[in-house]
Amino acid sequence: MNRWIRNVMALWALAACAAAGAQTAAAPLDIRVQDLKAEVMRLNRDLLVLEEELLFPANTQVALFVSMDVGKLFNLESVQIKLDDKLIAQHLYSPLEVQALHRGGVQRVYLGNLKAGEHSIDAFFTGQGPRLGGEGATARRDYKRGTTLKFEKGSEPKYIELRIRDSQQKLQPEFEVKVW
Amino acid sequence: MKPPEPSLAKRLLAIAIAAAVLAFVYNRNADAQTVAAPAADPLPAPVKAPHYGDALFHFFQENWFGSLTGLMVSQQFTRIAPHDDEAEVLRGGLLLSWGLHVEAGEVFARLIETTTAASVRDRAWFFLAKIRYQRGWLAESEDALAKVAGVLPAALQEDRLLLQAQLAMARGDFAAAAVVLDALHKDPKASTVGQGYARFNLGVALVRSGEVARGTAMLEQIGSASMATEEERALRDRANVALGFAALQASDPLAARGALQRVRMDGAFSNKALLGFGWASAELKEPRRALVPWDELAQRDPGDAAVLEARIAVPYALAEIGAEGQALARYEEASSFYGSERKRLAETIKAVRDGWLVEGLFELNPLQKGQGMGWFASVGQLPQMPHARHLAPLLSGHEFQEAFKNLRDLRFVDGNLRDWLSSLSVFNDMLDQRRAAFTERLPKVRARPEGSGLAALAARCDAIAAELARVEANTDTEALAPAAERKALATMALAHETIAKAQAVPESAPAEDLAQAAERLRRISGALTWRLAQAHTARLWDAKKAQRATDAALAEATGRDAALERAQQEEPKRFDAFAARIAMLSQRLAALQPRVVALGSEQQAALQDIAVAELQRQQERLDSYETQAQLAIAQLLDRAQIAQRTRPARGADAGGTGQPR
């Protein structure tokens, strides 16, 4: 039964062995791949910095962000933004993106250039509100909300955040604008 | 202790990291709050830097590369404050998510040095410990783990204890591992799955440290428990298999059978259990009972080593019960199968070497723009190719999974660099056009014959300001009079003069008429003076307001002119600086591309080598089984011949085959 005992021990080792030993040190190939990926990552950072400085210099840069601070009352579907009456951004949201916003992510929806002076933003969002008829109901109320903001663009980058918030009193979503 | 399933370890590490990053990022009073179970999200705290929120937006969508590079860009532009520490924890986690554990280790090490927040340091030490353990630096891992001063959030705390036990077992101190795991086992807050693994690993640790009875009792507890989830049921099966083989090794086949028959027939460990049950029965000299599970096993997918072994275990049992004819037939069948399987393995090896495996894997796991695979995703499915079942053992192999992820990341990186190559050439074109436009237009604007005219305008503004000041100081109401009133003033002045001249020459007009005219003129002058006085304040205010607006416009124009003058000096230097940066980045890109391609080829070859090594191991195993089958066939034939020679000569036997019954 020597063969069987040998097999028993081999399968015992295979079946019952805990990871008593740590994994072996990374092979040189793995290290080289990591080093290369790290270099590519740093190159990407430098390229993105160059791209931003070249295409969107700080003195003309304007960035628009969308965030949500809502509970379960509102399901965002789309956002549309006009700058000085010109449509500059519109976005249809995937469930994954909506979830990311719900979890506190902030979406940079537009990056562009603007000359100094007064400008105006008109932003609209659409979505679905609370279920009509309580729990178990499937129909939801459609919402469309908008906001207008006039702002002054100087020589510094301008960051504007469009926050979609719950109004717990009205049980409706509303826009809030934060100029950073 | 977690079983040797590196993909599971990686998943738990991912959950721990995600939970820790979320916990740290979203809980301002991180020490006072506990992290919920990984499936539940903590409530978000306000993000005070939108660019940091943008990194989170991509992070939550598992776009590791996009989140990481975006975060690094925002850190470069210093627009992350006040989230600097959290951003570094996030960056460390993202580096780990993208497989850069060396760099992640450096981030956490730096955080430890620079941050004052105890909770951040503790988490950083813990992640460093995990990273070092993954890399096999056990002493360094223990050193880092020892530096975690406080209590981590619940999910991480459990992982901390498991890591502590793993490290103790790695240095052979099973008693110490048992103490740690015992504490976890008794912790009511530990997760059910965590407790299950803890008990399993404790049982193994106890057995290895010599406390066989206690270890066996622990494994027995798991092996006979009622389990709610599939993961827990799989753990129960594993515990029963471990018990069964331990009992076999201890020459207690009865106990072995008792444990092995609790293993589910359709679970991942059923094949091993069937094989072990057969051995236990064979040890108990019950070959008929051994035959039942082995026969069942022999009909299963031959991709499993246990199934291959069963093919010669069955004829062994048949021979033991005296059915040597059937045994011989089954041995020959097994030998033939092993021969065919060997050929099929050779075909699979050729297909792997020809690249079918790699291309098939990429079809199943396509690259998505902007995303790498993520270090904690695993290949769970084999591609469509002939005899793909030969490659099934690869899926649970850590080396294979890591090699494929590396290859996938290298292909992603290759595409990324190609995209940037075309973008850089566009940047160069843009820069050339801007430089040309600038060189053409600015000198024309600056060199106008009348100059910018700003000096003259400024002089005029100053003169107007001085005049306004005089008007205000002297309350000169006439200075601000509109054209009609100035004309009226001039008319009245002329009238005054005319009347005065007339009065000087008495015969020019009747005195009474002159007196009336003078009186009338006095009244009109008075009314006009009153009106001028009434309107003066408002007019002065309007004039000063207009002057301020003019000053402002002039200042803006002067500023722009100055900016143009500066631009004339500085802009060419800016263009040169951009051109130099583009050239430098192009060089870096050009240097990286061939390395990516070369490393990709090397990684593909390494991946294929891993697969081929596994297939060759299977071939060797088949060779061993085939040798045993051939030996057994020879022995049976020998026995048959001996039996025939020693049988009293009375003619052919009833069967006429010469085969033993």
> What would the pLDDT profile of B372-417 be if each residue is shown by its tens digit?
555 545 666 777 777 777 887 787 777 888 888 889 999 999 999 9
CA–CA–CA angle B233, B235, B239 (5° rounding): 115
Report the pLDDT value the prediction gives residue B16, as an integer from 0 to 100. 44
Q: Which residue of B has its CA nearest to A6?
A: B249
Cβ pair A12:B1 closer than 8 A: no
Report the pLDDT value the prediction gives residue A26, as an integer from 0 to 100. 43
Cβ pair B134:A17 closer than 8 A: no
Report the pLDDT value the prediction gives residue A11, as an integer from 0 to 100. 45
Q: Order of strands across the sheet with A140-153?
A: A86-92, A75-83, A117-131, A140-153
Q: Which residue of A has its CA nearest to B415?
A: A40
CA atoms of B144 and B158, how far apart (whole Å): 16
CA atoms of B156 and B12, how far apart (whole Å): 10
The share of chain B scoring above pLDDT 90, in percent, equals: 47
Cβ pair A106:B204 closer than 8 A: no
CA atoms of B210 and B368, how far apart (whole Å): 51
- CB of A107 less than 8 A from some CB of B: yes
> How much is the average pLDDT of B541-547?
94
Cβ pair A8:B276 closer than 8 A: yes
Cβ pair A23:B135 closer than 8 A: yes
Report the pLDDT value the prediction gives residue A51, as an integer from 0 to 100. 96
Which chain A residues contact residue B588 at CB under 8 A?
Answer: 39, 43, 46
Contacts of B157 (CB under 8 A, 6+ apart): B151
Whether pLDDT at B370 is above 60 = no
- CB of A132 less than 8 A from some CB of B: no
Q: B12 or B239: which carries more pLDDT confidence?
A: B239
Cβ pair B61:A17 closer than 8 A: no
- Strand pairing report for A117-131 and A140-153: antiparallel
CA distance A89 to chain B (A): 16
* A16, A104, A159 member nearest B246 (Cβ): A16
Lowest-pLDDT range of A69-73, B387-391, B462-466: A69-73
Whether pLDDT at B307 is above 70 = yes
Report the pLDDT value the prediction gives residue B417, as an integer from 0 to 100. 96
Q: Could you name the CATH architecture of A61-179?
A: Sandwich (2.60)
Cβ pair B166:A22 closer than 8 A: yes
Cβ pair A40:B416 closer than 8 A: yes
Report the pLDDT value the prediction gives residue B483, as an integer from 0 to 100. 93
CA atoms of B584 and B365, how far apart (whole Å): 35
Q: What is the ipTM of this complex?
A: 0.84
Which chain A residues contact residue B420 at CB under 8 A?
Answer: 43-44, 47
Element (H, E) at B138: helix B138-146
Cβ pair A24:B200 closer than 8 A: no
Whether pLDDT at B28 is above 60 = no
CA distance A55 to chain B (A): 9
Instruction: Please report, for chain A, the start and end positions of each structural domain, with discontinuous segments joined by +.
Output: 27-56, 61-179
Q: How confident is the model at residue B9 (pLDDT cuts 50, 70, 90)?
A: very low
* A9, A30, A107 member nearest B402 (Cβ): A30
Lowest-pLDDT range of A118-132, B29-43, B269-283, B444-458: B29-43
Query: Each residue of B546-575: pLDDT tens digit?
Result: 999 999 999 988 888 887 788 778 888 999
**Average pLDDT of chain B to the nearest whole number:** 83
Whether pLDDT at B37 is above 80 = no
